[in-house]
Every structure is written in C-alpha cells, then in structure tokens.
Structure 1
C-alpha cells in the first residue's frame, strides 16, 4: 500500500508518499509548498525517479496549495494512493488518540480551532479538500499532543477554576510526533534509550520536553503552541497580567482587541520582535556578528530561555542522562546548541566542540553524538521524522481497521 502524509503549517505544506512495509514504512517521494499566501509561493517535488527543481506557483491559500499537491501525487508514474495521514496540531478536548477521520471527528476538529487558531483552521481546510479529491480511501488524523498524554496530572493541570478545566483547558504539549519519532529512532537503532532525557525541538516554533523511560512527563508548551520558550514570532511564557495589559492597550471593540493581541502574540513577537528582523535565525546571527545589538539580544533571550528549560527539567528528573537537539535550529545551528549548553558543565553536561561543529555531510549517522567523552550526560543531534511517524501510525490504524 502507498500512504500520502500531509504535514501542514500556517504557511507551508510538506508531503510525502510512503510504501507501507511489514515493519516500517519507507519514503518514496517528498515535496513541499512554501510561502503560501505570500504572493511568491514555491513548490518542489522529488523522489528516486524524479527530481523536479523548485518553481514558483500560485498558492494564495491552503486550498490552492493542496490542489498543487494533489496534482503532483496523481500524475502518471506515481503509485496510487491508498490512504492519507495528516498532522493536526490540536485535537481539542474530546479526541484523545490518532484516529480515522469521520464526520464526527471533523466536527470535533472545528471545535478545536479555539485552542489552536494559528494551525488548525488551515489543516481542517486541507483535510476537507483532500478528502474530496480522494473520496474512496481512508483518511487519518495524527495529533501533536498525543505523545504528551503520559504527563502526570500535576504537570497538565492549570491552577484555574474547575469550570474552565472541565472545558478542556489544560496543558496539552506539542511537537509530540517529533519527540515520538526520536524515541522510536533511538530504540530501533539499538542505541541505549536514556532513562532521563530532554528533547529540545528548536525551530520557528520551539519546545523542550522532559522524558522518563521514553515517556513524556513535562513539556514547555501548554494549552496552545504559543507558550514555553521564546520562539521565532511567539513570545513563550508571559505574565498573564501582561496579556491583560495588551488587551487594554488595543483599539476597537472586544473582538478587534482580541484579534489584535492574538496576532501580536503569534506573529509579531519572539526573536523577530526583539531583533526587528525577519523570522530567520541565520540572518539574525549574521546581523549580530555585524554589530546589531538588537539581534544579539534576541539570540541571547532565546538561548537563555531554552537553557533555563533544560536546567529546570534536569532538576525535575533528578539529573539528565541525555539531551537531544532537533528541529531546524536544533539540527542545523551549532552556535545555538553551544550557547544553550554554555554554563551547564556543573551539571555534567559537556559539549565536544569539534563534533558539534561537524557539517551534516561529515556525520557518520543520523543519531550524531556531540557530547565530550567526560560528559556524564549524552548529547545527541537527531533529525525529527514527523512524516515517518505519521506513516507508521497510519499503517498501524489500517491494520486495525
């Protein structure tokens, strides 16, 4: 069987075609639509028998973009799609497992938009449009929160009145498919799975998760993907009084004020707000190297927030056996990794500078160890494989259906 995996963000869609196997699905084709709604969206698609160069396309919204994806995966020579799996950020209060998409599931996802207004609306549009394009095959939703269901109640509960907790207001956690893929990769690579581990998924969206025996026990994101450590355009944790202050400063009626604050917190904060530059760590680091003090402050605030999270989880777990870096920044930015870990030597966390600075082409495997020989905590650099994890879940659910 051949599985189409769709991993959509607020302005991009990544997609892959996997061949299901007896144990683990294998990727045949991969592609991406990026810059959706920017006026200059780009499309790429490649596999073992084709490598199409990146090209500019018309994609003003997710529906236009998914139309390009459907056209690509149904062209002659591409295997027939037998099932589709989607990454969905937030399942809402009632869905508690990866699931076959039914009308009732779609109804629950519509309600979940209140929890993830930045991510879920476009994902739901994409699901509905793709289901219309492939009406005779099963479609499955895989959620970013499920991995964190193992958190104890003391970690997931907000200290707010019961009536709101009964509505589903709690700490859900995100980047779960990323964390799960890393745990799975480590187990299947016969690497010793550390008992006390922290995974730092660092990119435009960033989170740090604490794991005990491969199970999530805490994470920095909460009800939504806006909180936690500082991110590209999101501020991370804030004093609740600051949100009230921002609401009081906004012009217009109640709805306008809430939309303005929501936009500010999701799109106009974080590293980009501090640096005054576009949301791109490479350009921020370049500006800092050229003497831009705002860019340097943005980097310092970001790295300090991640270091603080790692340090707090180290004490929560009673020590750390391993730290894993993943995500765009976590995987590709050696300086960020070094700066995050700076000063943690007293905790037995010691980085090997040479291994940390090694180019991707020089790494001997995907589970790249960058800790020094005298470090009591192993430090790994492992690419996240969310699409592969979704394909595995879809393969499993197909077996159960």
Structure 2
C-alpha cells in the first residue's frame, strides 16, 4: 500500500489561510509564530508534523486549519473594539473547530440540501465546546474568538469572561500571566465549577449540588449563545448537535432546548432518548438534529486532494 500524503489538524492557520496547504519550511515557520495564539494546541500539532516528516521523508504533509472555515468574515464581525492597529497585528476573532463545522456543512449539503441552504446553528459540544452560525453553508459567526478560550464554558476552560476579572486577578491577587493562563485553560470550566471533573458523564452521575450547578451553567450559556447566533443570521432553520456531549448527552440536549420553544426549537423525548438523527417532532418549525462529526475524514479528503493535485 502506497502512502500518498499525511494530513494534520492544525488549530491555528492565521488570518489569511482559507484552505489546506502542503507543509514546507516557510509554512512551518509561519505556523510556529502562531503558537502564542493557541498555546494549548499549536505546539503539539506542529510536533506531530515534524515527527511525520522525520518518519516518512518525501511524503507530502498537509496542514488543515481549524480557523479556515471562518476566514471569510467581514471586518465588523472579525474585530474587537480596540484601536485598529491591534486588528492589523492579528488581534481579531478567528473562530475554531472549523474542520468539524466543515464536515457538518458538507453532510447537510449531501443529505438535506434544502436545509443546508438555510440558517443553521451547529453546537460542537465536548471537552472543547463552541457553536457556529452557518448560513448557506458559510460561517457567519462563532462563539470562539481570538483564542480557543472564548465562548462556552468547556471541560477545563473558562469560556467567555469579563476582562475586568483578569485585571482584578493581576492587580489584587498578584497572579502572574502564567498563573492566569493555567487557571483559565486547565482549572476552570466544568472542572472548576464542580470541583469534581471535566467529564459530563461523571457530573451527570455525581448527584452533588456542585455538579448540578456546573451542568446548569453550561446549559444556560448554550441557550444564550444559540439565541445570539440566531440573531446573527436573522433567524434559525435548524440546530445541530455534534461532539462528544452533543452526540451522547441526551439530558443535556433536552435541557438546552427546553427554553428555546420561542425559536421553534422542540425535542421529541422518545427520539432524543433513542439518539435518532432527527430529534425534533414532525412539523417543528426548527429542525433539531444529532450528527456525529468526522474531522478526520475532512483531513483525509484534503490530503488526498493535494496528493492528487501534485502527482
């Protein structure tokens, strides 16, 4: 069996990379420069590329970027309300989990083309969690911004937080940048709220008030973000759950949808319990679906396409 190419997930591709790319020395150096933007992921992604280059010399290495799916945003959606120079230097909203969103968009186009042309909120819920508003197959808005810390609370990451809290931690608690980074990336989210675990399954089984509060906060933040993303598209035609929590945590899905009936979002309890693909009732104004993601397939297809192109 001939090895044609090796594909890699790279969390951060920067502001201009919209498509997968064959890895060479200049690209590798550019991706290394982005490591401060994604310190939890980028160094490990690049270490994998280097290991593959050493083990399989001469085999094309293809980088697939989690930021690429979101790179067509206009300035008003891409920027923060900081002096323009910061945006020009790369301090902007990037969005992540793009490989997952690309798969879901493609799967909808393949299986439900009319729905794919509409307004869809995709909830990629797992240890890392985000949501994306997709209209006509293209990203309109995402809960993650400059970093993979933003947006929803996650397994160990805080999600959205008032910048004033960080100033307080520095000025009043004398915490260093390293200590704050460790707090936000590794000690917050579901783990920090529950004091028990970052695993939704353990929290659901725990039965403690702290675990229940952590789940309730996660559900509340999901509900708020779904409303925000629907507003960015001026409506919603479908909600898609994916990722480890989205695909498997039936009670969490039910709780998220519980207060969204005003958006036409309803869940059929039997379909949800059976983990069916369509979990909304027949005739519901907004379809609710569960679609397993497959980022690896997106990467494999991209690597194969570049290998064929360069033969």
SS of equivalent residue, structure 2 residue 114: coil
Q: Deviations over 1:72-109 (max 9, x none)?
A: xxxxxxx3422100000012345443211000011011
Secondary structure in 2 aligned to 1:174? coil
Unaligned 5+ segments in structure 2 are none
Aligned match for 2:55, one of 117, 120, 133: 133
Are 1:150 and 2:72 counterparts?
Answer: yes
Greater RCO, CA 8 A, separation 6+: 2
Q: Say which SS state the counterpart of residue 85 (structure 2) adopts.
A: helix
1:326 and 2:277 matched: no
Structure 1 CA distance for aligned equivalents of residues 76 and 301 of structure 2: 31
The one of 272, 275, 278 aligned to 1:356: 272
1:393 pairs with 2:302: yes
Q: Distance in 2 between matches of 1:249 and 1:328?
A: 38
Segments of 4+ in structure 1 off by > 6 A?
Answer: none
Matched, 1:115 2:115: no
Q: Is the 8 A contact 2:119 2:136 kept in 1?
A: yes
SS in 2 for 1:141: strand
Equivalences for residues 1-400 of structure 1 within 5 A? 79-93=1-15, 95-194=17-116, 195-249=118-172, 257-288=176-207, 292-359=208-275, 363=276, 368-400=277-309
| Aligned residues between the structures | 309
1:303 counterpart SS class: helix
Secondary structure class of the residue paired with 1:85: strand
Q: Match of 1:27? A: none
Q: TM-score, normalised by structure 2?
A: 0.95
Cα contact 2:9–2:66 (8 A) shared by 1:
yes
Q: Larger Rg: 1 or 2?
A: 1
Residues 188-228 of structure 1, C-alpha deviations (whole Å, 9 max, x = no match): 22553341110000000100100111100100000110000
The secondary structure found in structure 1 opposite 2:3 is coil
- Work out whether residues 115 and 223 of structure 1, in 8 Å CA contact, stay in contact via their aligned partners in 2: yes
Bigger proportion of residues as helix: 2
The question of whether the paired residues in 2 share the 8 Å contact of 1:91 and 1:145 is answered with yes
Q: Secondary structure at the match of 1:380?
A: strand
What SS class does the counterpart of residue 216 from structure 1 fall into? strand
In 1: Cα distance, 2:19 partner to 2:89 partner: 18
| CA deviation after TM superposition for structure 1 residue 399, in Å | 3.0
* Alpha-carbon distance between aligned partners in 1 of 2:221 and 2:63, rounded to the nearest angstrom: 32
Tell me how far apart the structure 1 counterparts of residues 230 and 150 of structure 2 sit (CA, whole Å).
Answer: 20
Task: Please tell me whether the aligned partners of residues 16 and 71 of structure 2 are also in contact (alpha carbons under 8 angstroms).
Answer: no
- Rounded to whole Å, the distance in 2 between the matches of 1:107 and 1:247 is 32
